[in-house]
Amino acid sequence: MPKLIVGNWKMNGLQADSRDLAEKLAAGMKGDPSNDFHMVVCPPATMIAPVAAVLKGSAIRWGGQDCHAEASGAFTGDIAAPMLKDLGCDFVILGHSERRQYHEETSAQVAAKAKQAYAAGLAVIICVGELDAQRSAGEQESVVARQLAESIPAEALPLNTVIAYEPVWAIGTGKTASAEDIRQMHAFIRGKVGRMQILYGGSVKAENAREILHTENVDGVLVGGASLKAEAFMAIAAASRLP
Ligand code: PGA
């Protein structure tokens, strides 16, 4: 199965940078048969339309970084799943640790958002992961088990749901989980989610992508910082190929 390589641009980029990045990625993918991976980028909401205009017709698909649990209504500042679909999105990231931390998003809210995303025809990338203190206390599996149980709605299928394991202490810190930590946690998650794709996220870069992508039960990666540079992101994707 091709690896899923997802770029989470977070709150970065204006129109010119975003278009430029998308153009470089589309050009990089042109010569690539991409049998080894599928590439997805998730720009900030205001950048989806300009990025989609560049990526249309390329092998790269795009998605949102969050959506509301309602399809429309009086929710100032929020983005609804059908609005993402309307811009050609195929995916939406839900329950990213930055949403859980800074917007106090709960797993129940993540599940409600996922249902709305399915109704709009989007696939969801549901993020889970433990805090540093929880890992130090040996609670990582129970924390992740609870997040999975509460964030994944009953409607979830391997076709419409991807799980991203992102240990919070590894996000944007330069610290990556060891291959053994990743192997153990992904095996644990596999036992809970069956055939759903499981991504790893947290300081993935060109230098560590090969080892991570070829760890058992790692079906792809969710990349933040290193997805903002076309060359680095393409190198991560290329690491999907076996040597
Ligand atoms: P990072 O972010 O690659 O910058 O650590 C990953 C993420 O938050 O999805």
Amino acid at 95: G
Looking at per-residue pLDDT, the higher value among 191 and 35 belongs to: 191
Judge contact between 165 and 199, C-beta under 8 A: yes
What's the maximum distance between 2 C-alpha atoms anywhere in the chain?
52
Cα angle value 28/34/40 (rounded, 5°): 70
What pLDDT, on the 0 to 100 scale, is given for residue 34?
A: 63
What pLDDT, on the 0 to 100 scale, is given for residue 242?
A: 77
**Ligand 1 neighbour 222 (Cβ under 6 A):** yes
pLDDT at 38 over 80: yes
The whole model's pTM is what?
0.97
Query: Please, which pLDDT band fits residue 33 given cuts at 50, 70 and 90?
Result: low
**Ligand 1 neighbour 203 (Cβ under 6 A):** yes
Mean pLDDT of 172-189: 92
From 68, 96, 98, 130, the catalytic residue: 96
HSE, side-chain direction, 13 A CA sphere, residue 97: 20
What pLDDT, on the 0 to 100 scale, is given for residue 99?
A: 97
Please state, in angstroms and rounded to a whole number, the distance separating the CA atoms of residues 148 and 108: 10
What pLDDT, on the 0 to 100 scale, is given for residue 27?
A: 95
Mean pLDDT of 195-212: 96
Closest CA to 141 of 153, 154, 127, 128: 128
Separate counts of helices (H) and strands (E) for the chain: 10, 8
**Ligand 1 neighbour 7 (Cβ under 6 A):** no
Please state, in angstroms and rounded to a whole number, the distance separating the CA atoms of residues 118 and 81: 9
Mean pLDDT of all residues belonging to the chain: 96
What pLDDT, on the 0 to 100 scale, is given for residue 173?
A: 85
| pLDDT, tens digit, 9 for 90 and up, residues 121-175 | 999 999 999 999 999 999 999 999 999 999 999 999 999 999 999 999 998 888 8
* CA distances to 9, 68, 93, 94, 131 from 80, in Å: 19, 5, 13, 12, 29
HSE, side-chain direction, 13 A CA sphere, residue 134: 15
Looking at per-residue pLDDT, the higher value among 174 and 32 belongs to: 174
Cα angle value 12/14/19 (rounded, 5°): 105
Instruction: Confirm whether 96 is a catalytic residue.
Output: yes
| β strands within 43-196, DSSP E | 61-64, 91-94, 123-128, 161-165
Task: Give the residue carrying structure tokens 């010569």.
Answer: 31
Instruction: Confirm whether 38 is a catalytic residue.
Output: no
Q: Which atom of ligand 1 is nearest to the CA of 170?
A: 5
Helices 107-120 and 140-151, interaxial angle, to 10°? 40
| pLDDT, tens digit, 9 for 90 and up, residues 74-122 | 999 999 999 999 999 999 999 999 999 999 999 999 999 999 999 999 9
pLDDT at 30 over 90: no
**Ligand 1 neighbour 202 (Cβ under 6 A):** yes
Question: Which residue minimizes the CA distance to atom 1 of ligand 1?
Answer: 224
Question: Which residue minimizes the CA distance to atom 7 of ligand 1?
Answer: 224
pLDDT at 32 over 80: no
What pLDDT, on the 0 to 100 scale, is given for residue 24?
A: 97
Closest CA to 222 of 84, 109, 97, 50: 97
What pLDDT, on the 0 to 100 scale, is given for residue 176?
A: 82
Which residues, including other chains, have CB under 8 Å from residue 185's CB and lie 6 or more apart?
140, 141, 144, 165, 167, 177
Closest CA to 64 of 114, 139, 2, 16: 114
User: What residue spans define the domains of the chain?
Assistant: 3-27+36-69+77-238
Alpha carbon 242 to its chain centroid, in Å, reads 22
**Ligand 1 neighbour 167 (Cβ under 6 A):** no
pLDDT over 90, % of the chain: 92
Mean pLDDT of 10-37: 91
What's the CATH code, domain 3-27+36-69+77-238?
3.20.20.70
What pLDDT, on the 0 to 100 scale, is given for residue 243?
A: 67
Which residues, including other chains, have CB under 8 Å from residue 51's CB and lie 6 or more apart?
18, 19, 22, 41, 43, 62
